[in-house]
Amino acid sequence: MQPVTRRAVLGTAAALPLSAPFINHALAAEFTFKVAHGLFPDHPTNIRLNEAAANVAKETNGRMELRVFPANQLGGESDMLNQVRSGAIETFLIGGLVISSVVPMAALDGTGFAFNNFGQVWKAMDGELGAFIRTAMMAQSNIYFPRTIWDLGFRQITNSVRPVNTVADLAGMKLRVPGAAAYVDLFKALGAAPVNMQFPEVYSAMQTHIVDGQENPLALIATSRFYEVQKYCSLTNHIWNGFWVLINSRAWQRLPANLQEIVENNFNAAGLKQRQDLAGLETTYHETMAKGGITFNDKPDTESFRAKLKSVGYYTDVRKKLGDKAFALLEAASGATLG
C-alpha cells in the first residue's frame, strides 16, 4: 500500500481544504467523537468530514469536537465496525454491505446489478427504500444512523489478467472483496474466486499477484492509486455503494438534544455536498486512471452478468434472506423484475 500522505491530482477536489479543522484547545471540548473511515485524505468524503467538524466546533462554541481519522488509521473495516459497536470509536463511515455482517438488511441496496443510474439510486435511498433500510439497521444494532446516506459510487472491476467484457471473463479470477458475505456471494455467483482482505493490504496483494484484481468505485481506485498495479478496468456498475454514517448509540444518547441536532444537520449537509463532489469528479478519476496506464472497457455486456445471476438463483437467495417486502421495495426502486 502506498503512503497515505501521497495525493493524486483530482481536479476540483484539490480546491477544497484538506487540512483538519482548527480547534481551539485552550478549553477542552465537553464532548469529543472520533470519526473514522478507510478513505484517503484527499477523497471528497474526508474533505467534507473535516468541513463538517469545523462547522460543528463553531456552531457549538467548542463544546463538541469531531476528530477525523482517515485511511484506516484506527483499524481495518471489520475492526472499526466492531469498535463503533463497542463504543471504542464513536463514529464510523462504511458501506452497507460491510454493515450487513451485523444487520443483513443493510445489503439490500447493494444487490448486484439492481440500479442502472444515480437517478434511480437517490430517488430510492432518499425515499421509501432508504427509510426501510435505515429503520431496520437501527432496530437491529446499538448504532444510530443519520438520515442522509453518502455516496461511494458504482463499483467497477480492475484486474491485471484480462479485460472483463462478459461474465465468462470473470471465471476463476481472484478478486479481493471486502469482509462481508454479500460481496462473496455475488462474485461466487458470477464465477469469480473472491478473496476477503482488509483494505490496507489490497495494493501490495495486487502488486505481488496474490490477487488478480479488486472491485471498488472509481474515486477509491484513483485516490488509492490502484492503477499503478492494475492493467484493466471494466465499468460494470455491478453494485451501487452507499456510505452510511454510524454513531454508537450510547455515545449519541449522551449528547444533549441541541448538540445532536447540530451534529446530525452537519453530517447530512456534508453528505449532500459529498454526493455532488463525486458526481463532478467522475470524469477526472477516469482520466487520472487512464494516464496511469489503465485500459478501460466502458461498455461491458452487463446483461450477461444479470442472466448469470438469475440462472444460479442469486436473486432468489436475496429474496429468501431479506424477505418479500424488502425485495419488492428493491424491485420497485430499480424498475425491473430481478428474480
User: Which pLDDT does position 1 carry in this prediction?
Assistant: 37
The pLDDT of 74-88, averaged and rounded, is 95
Confidence of residue 179 (pLDDT cuts 50, 70, 90): confident
Q: For the chain, give the mean pLDDT.
A: 92
Lowest mean pLDDT among 24-33, 39-48, 164-173: 24-33
pTM attached to this predicted model: 0.86
- pLDDT at 89 > cutoff 60: yes
Q: Confidence class of residue 3 from pLDDT cuts 50, 70 and 90? A: very low
What mean pLDDT is predicted for residues 119-138?
A: 97
Rounded CA Rg of the chain = 19
pLDDT of residue 2: 35
Domains for the chain: give ranges and CATH numbers. 11-334 (3.40.190.170)
